[in-house]
Amino acid sequence: MTDEILIVGGGFAGFWAAMAARRVVGDQVRVTMASREPVLQMRPRLYEAKPETLGADLLPLLDAAGVKFVQGEATGLDLARQTVVLASGANLPYARLVVATGSSMHRPPVPGAVAAYSIDSQRDAIASDRRLGEIARGIARPTVAVVGAGFTGIELALEMRDRIATHGGEAESLRIVLVDRAVTVGSELGAGPRTEIETALAAAGVECCLGVTIIALAANRVTFAAGPALDADAVVLATGMVASGFVRHVPGERDALGRIIVDRSLRAPAAPEVFVTGDAAAANTGDGHRALQSCQHALQLGRFAGENAARDLLGLPTVPYAQPRYVTCLDLGRSGAVLTQGWERTISKTGAEAKVLKRRINTVVIYPPTNVPGATLLALSSTDPAEQRLPG
């Protein structure tokens, strides 16, 4: 038996889980994070230009906080022996485990979907960007199809003209087609921001192809159940996310996104030493809603999972996860942004005013702090939102 707290996954939830666990246990217990790489991929920014710059080095922060990092792909979980197995064959023991392995894009189950571009990971976004560069340099009057008119697809479609311009292309002749089976754009965002979104899409000259059934995909073609196929110079998917692979090793009930339905302390009910967090967890936000697969929720879910794994190990009572405030800030490209409040998504800011906030979220709020002492870093991992304000 070890006294180690092990966090698998170094995304937003995993990083803050490690910090919170370390804060609670002090020097009494080892805290280890295992992940594919010691880099926090800034997934919410991957619709932007220069995706190769959108990662944050976690090693200096983990070092400052006294968290050990192990690089590797977690491929197995032995609940009886309390170990996580890595692809290298290494076994990582745990007394409490936090599963923070996040999500990955759900590719439509149609032929050719694997060939289409996406912006799900930094690597995918870099490959998409490389194609946009080729298009900008070599194709007159190009067409880009974005499949999926949800949050990510809208942001990407509205950024596309400037993405082509960044590569030196003639942006105004670009044809952008936003495709979805839903009959409205941003259907998961509800009616609140819809008019703002539709106005921005019209102003940006984005064609909407809605209420369609896709039967095949390729890197350069979308084929529909009815009507002519759409030929494009790039097809980029933004078709929603599901919990990523490792979480399948955790026993218990799941929701439709493959997330483990956790209890209020974020524990997996069928595996009492295992806590699940971020995009891998279906958690009650404390006000009757289910946490979304969002960075905003993952940042807080991570803090609670780390805190509770540590408290549980020390025999302290756990604290129920709560997400008291919920906002949505959607980038609308040249039309600015739209900020909504609450689960009803009531608009509170639009245009340039909301864009200032979106830039701050994308460049400051979601980043781990740098150049702060270890103690400050740990203080920021508190589950009390009042204590999480960034310096400055």
Q: Do residues 154 and 197 make contact, with C-beta atoms less than 8 angstroms apart?
A: yes
In the complex, the smallest distance separating the C-beta of residue 366 from ligand FAD, rounded to whole angstroms, is 8
- State yes or no: residue 174 binds ligand FAD (CB under 6 A): no
In the bound state with ligand FAD, the residue whose beta carbon lies nearer, of 10 and 186, is 10
Q: Which of 152, 239, 350, 381 binds ligand FAD (CB under 6 A)?
A: 152
Pairing verdict, β 234-237 and 117-118: parallel
The number of helix segments (H) and strand segments (E) in the chain equals: 8, 26
**Residue whose C-alpha is closest to residue 251's, from 99, 392, 148:** 99
In the bound state with ligand FAD, the residue whose beta carbon lies nearer, of 137 and 360, is 360
- State yes or no: residue 383 binds ligand FAD (CB under 6 A): no
Q: Do residues 164 and 171 make contact, with C-beta atoms less than 8 angstroms apart?
A: yes
Q: For residue 231, what is the enclosing H or E element?
A: strand 230-231
Q: Do residues 244 and 280 make contact, with C-beta atoms less than 8 angstroms apart?
A: yes
- C-alpha 308/C-alpha 305 separation (Å) is 5
- State yes or no: residue 163 binds ligand FAD (CB under 6 A): no
In the bound state with ligand FAD, the residue whose beta carbon lies nearer, of 92 and 135, is 92
- State yes or no: residue 73 binds ligand FAD (CB under 6 A): yes
Q: Which of 7, 13, 149, 283 binds ligand FAD (CB under 6 A)?
A: 13
- State yes or no: residue 35 binds ligand FAD (CB under 6 A): yes
- State yes or no: residue 120 binds ligand FAD (CB under 6 A): yes
- State yes or no: residue 278 binds ligand FAD (CB under 6 A): yes
Q: How many residues bind ligand FAD (CB under 6 A)?
A: 32
Q: For residue 17, what is the enclosing H or E element?
A: helix 12-25
Q: Which of 44, 112, 169, 336 binds ligand FAD (CB under 6 A)?
A: 44
Q: Which of 61, 65, 74, 305 binds ligand FAD (CB under 6 A)?
A: 74
- State yes or no: residue 243 binds ligand FAD (CB under 6 A): no
- State yes or no: residue 186 binds ligand FAD (CB under 6 A): no
- C-alpha 144/C-alpha 171 separation (Å) is 11
Cβ neighbourhood burial of 87 (10 Å; 0-12, 13-18, 19+): exposed
- State yes or no: residue 340 binds ligand FAD (CB under 6 A): no
**Residue whose C-alpha is closest to residue 37's, from 60, 15, 12, 70:** 70
- State yes or no: residue 36 binds ligand FAD (CB under 6 A): yes
Pairing verdict, β 74-78 and 83-86: antiparallel
In the complex, the smallest distance separating the C-beta of residue 32 from ligand FAD, rounded to whole angstroms, is 12
Residue 146 phi, psi (nearest 5): -110, 120
Q: Which of 38, 132, 236, 246 binds ligand FAD (CB under 6 A)?
A: 246
Residues that bind ligand FAD (CB under 6 A): 8-14, 34-36, 43-44, 46-47, 73-74, 100-103, 119-120, 152, 244, 246, 278-279, 293-296, 298
